[in-house]
Amino acid sequence: MARRPQRIQLFKMLFSRKVRMIALAMAALPICQTTGCFPDLLGAFNFQLQLLINGTLIEAINTIVQNLLHL
């Protein structure tokens, strides 16, 4: 019978308002980006520049091939 008071204390601790608020705050960490995730501006600029160069290069090659084959 000594275990029953321990179970009641555990139950009260698990379902207390403070514990629920802490659990919600921990669950919201990735949403709020408080884990240290910041946008990589240099990486984003590099990606967009690469897309521009690749798109321009592919379009130029496509135009040359169409003109050579008279498509």
pLDDT for 45-60, tens place per residue? 888 999 999 989 999 9
pTM for the model: 0.40
Assess whether pLDDT exceeds 60 at residue 1. Answer: no
DSSP string, 5-38: HHHHHHHHHHTSHHHHHHHHHHHTHHHHTTTS--
Structural domain boundaries in the chain: 1-37, 39-71
Beta carbons of 10 and 4 less than 8 angstroms apart: no
Residue 7: both structure tokens together:
């179970």
Q: Compute the mean pLDDT over every residue in the chain, rounded to the nearest whole number.
A: 76
